[in-house]
């Protein structure tokens, strides 16, 4: 058993129960790159303000390189007293270089862990934003491949008005643009260095928090040391962005589940992205879409769990805050897996455009266009609605087909019957942002421009040091 960081003050060692509950190494070891990077910046700053000699700094930097190498290769030997990743790295550095005992000068694990987690969050969220962008391109690719296809649009899951498939797919694409916005916003909030705040109150040593902030690629440093070590807003922001993204993926998943059903028959799943049944030989199941739907539960759970942990915490650091990491790691891992699988599933979907069209070509789907036809000819909309509504009721009661009733109606007639031509209703819609052929082409241009702008915004982030720290 090695010595604890606080052994000077204590006569007895820690109990097994305390260690089992207290140790965060099992999950925070994935922060090792960020921890080492933070230590490099810190020791370099300590040397530049004269608190350690250049030779001591160099010995510590060499030891940090060695530790990083060993971690990368899986050759690092953790010992029982390594409570967390910060303890483990510092212990080993000090074994390799006695000057390592100076590494923690002016630093606490409280500012250290907040620094590590901010670096990690920035890098991971920017990587996820790129995956979202890829998925948007997949949706756009399917939209382009089915330029003319149309399907019923739904409200209340009842057929409402026909729309182009491209319009429907881009609807999901735009929701994902907002997710990218939220991820970038969460990154911006994480982009503040807490290093130099110490345990809570800063230091009387001549530290330079601006130097470490810029060495680590942060946009700036903390303004208040108490806030710096107790702020986990950036974790909550990230978890919210991921929960909302997960909810979008869940809603898409639900639609693809419906569309793949025999009842809809709008899409066919590729073998590589679907599963079979152990008992029923005929089955082909949309497990990826179901998991996209199901995983939203844990993403929301991770967010509410963290918010509940934060609620009521007094300033400043409390050990409760150690509970920030597992939900964040889990949400990041969950979204990455889900996005990759759903992207593969969507890019290999077969769209049964005939089935979509035959649903959309139901005469009743044209009802709104018939009312608009009357409006254009001067009839007040409320009256037009009632006129068409009555024709629909008579058609449903079996009196005659809707097109027949339209052709003999004095205000409608043969010209209005042309509205029943397959696809005409979907393609003909013309208002900006609507689902017809002309506005959808304009929308596509704007969507492509938005993807390019978001790609540039994400690319601009990867200029910072933290991009190299992703694990
Ligand atoms: N493992 C701890 C965490 O994740 C590091 C900070 C510990 N600080 C302390 N004062 N015990 O929050």
Q: Is the pLDDT of residue 471 over 50?
A: no
Q: How far apart are CA 307 and CA 239, in angstroms?
A: 10
Write the pLDDT tens digit of every residue in 214-251.
999 999 999 999 999 999 999 999 999 999 999 999 99
pLDDT band at 470 (very low <50, low <70, confident <90, very high): very low
Cβ neighbors of 134 (< 8 A, separation 6 or more) are 343
Task: Give residue 277's pLDDT.
Answer: 80
CATH class of 7-105: mainly alpha
**d(C-alpha 191, C-alpha 217), whole Å:** 8
Reply yes or no on whether 277 is catalytic.
Answer: yes
In the reported structure, the alpha carbon of residue 85 is separated from the centroid of ligand 1 by a whole-number distance in angstroms of 10
Pairing of strands 267-268, 220-221: unpaired
What are the residue ranges spanned by the domains of the chain? 7-105, 110-358+442-469, 362-421
Tell me how far apart the alpha carbons of residues 31 and 140 are, in angstroms, rounded to a whole number: 36
**Choice among 7, 261, 277, 430 that is catalytic:** 277
Q: From the CA of 28, give the closest atom in ligand 1.
A: 4
Ligand 1 binding pocket includes 353 (Cβ within 6 Å) = no
Q: What pLDDT shows up at residue 464?
A: 46
The size of the chain, in residues, is 471
The answer to whether residue 1 scores a pLDDT higher than 80 is: no
Q: Cα separation of 184 and 126, whole Å? A: 7
Does the domain at 362-421 match CATH 1.10.40.30? Answer given as: yes
Long-range contacts of the stretch 45-53 (C-beta < 8 A, 24+): 45/207, 45/208, 45/211, 45/212, 45/215, 46/102, 46/105, 46/106, 46/207, 48/208, 48/211, 49/205, 49/206, 49/207, 49/208, 50/206, 51/102, 51/105, 51/106, 51/205, 51/206, 52/99, 52/102, 52/105
> Is residue 158 classed as helix, strand or coil in its secondary structure?
strand
Angle at which helices 233-260 and 165-190 cross, to 10°:
160
Q: What tens digit of pLDDT does each residue of 112-138 get?
A: 999 999 999 999 999 999 999 999 999
Active site residue 331: no
pLDDT band at residue 57 under the 50/70/90 scheme: very high
Is 90 in contact with 434 (CB distance < 8 Å)? no
Q: For 362-399, write each residue's pLDDT tens digit.
A: 899 889 999 999 999 999 999 999 999 999 999 999 99
Note the pTM of the prediction, 2 decimals: 0.94
pLDDT confidence band for 11 (50 / 70 / 90)? confident
CATH of domain 110-358+442-469: 1.20.200.10
Q: How far is CA 161 from the centre of its chain?
A: 31
């Amino acid at each position: 058993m090695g010595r604890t960081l606080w052994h000077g003050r204590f006569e007895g060692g820690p109990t097994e129960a305390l260690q089992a509950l207290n140790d965060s190494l099992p999950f925070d070891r994935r922060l090792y790159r960020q921890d080492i990077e933070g230590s490099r910046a810190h020791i370099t700053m300590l040397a530049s303000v004269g608190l350690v000699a250049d030779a001591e700094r160099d010995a510590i930097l060499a030891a940090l390189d060695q530790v990083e190498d060993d971690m990368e290769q899986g050759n690092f030997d953790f010992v029982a007293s390594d409570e967390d990743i910060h303890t483990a790295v510092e212990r080993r550095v000090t074994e390799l270089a006695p000057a390592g005992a100076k590494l923690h000068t002016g630093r606490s694990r409280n500012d250290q862990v907040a620094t590590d987690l901010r670096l990690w969050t920035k890098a991971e969220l920017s990587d996820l934003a790129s995956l979202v962008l890829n998925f948007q391109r997949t949706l756009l690719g399917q939209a382009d491949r089915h330029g003319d296809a149309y399907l019923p649009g739904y409200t209340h899951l009842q057929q409402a008005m026909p729309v182009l498939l491209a319009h429907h797919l881009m609807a999901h694409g735009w929701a994902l643009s907002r997710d990218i916005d939220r991820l970038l916003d969460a990154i911006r909030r994480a982009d503040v260095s807490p290093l130099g705040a110490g345990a809570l109150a800063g230091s009387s040593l001549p530290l330079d928090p601006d130097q470490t902030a810029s060495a680590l690629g942060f946009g700036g440093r903390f303004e208040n040391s108490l806030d710096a070590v107790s702020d986990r807003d950036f974790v909550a922001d990230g978890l919210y962005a991921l929960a909302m993204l997960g909810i979008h993926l869940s809603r898409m998943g639900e639609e693809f589940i419906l569309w793949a059903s025999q009842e809809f028959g709008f899409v066919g799943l590729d073998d590589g992205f679907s599963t079979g049944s152990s008992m029923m030989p005929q089955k082909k199941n949309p497990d990826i879409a179901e998991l996209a739907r199901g995983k939203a539960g844990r993403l929301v759970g991770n967010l509410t769990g963290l918010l509940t942990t934060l609620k009521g915490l007094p300033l400043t650091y409390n050990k409760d805050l150690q509970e920030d990491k597992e939900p964040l790691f889990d949400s990041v891992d969950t979204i990455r897996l889900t996005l990759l699988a759903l992207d593969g599933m969507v890019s290999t979907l077969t769209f049964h455009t005939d089935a979509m069209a035959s649903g959309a070509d139901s005469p009743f789907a044209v009802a709104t266009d018939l009312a608009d036809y009357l409006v254009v000819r001067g009839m007040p909309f409320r009256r037009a609605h009632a006129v068409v509504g009555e024709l629909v009721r008579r058609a449903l009661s079996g009196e005659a087909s809707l097109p027949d009733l339209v052709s003999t109606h004095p205000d409608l007639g043969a010209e209005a019957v042309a509205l029943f031509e397959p696809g005409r209703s979907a393609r003909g819609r013309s208002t900006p942002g609507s689902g017809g052929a002309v506005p959808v082409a304009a929308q596509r241009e704007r969507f492509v421009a938005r993807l390019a702008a978001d790609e540039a915004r994400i690319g601009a982030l990867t200029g910072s040091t933290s991009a190299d720290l992703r694990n």
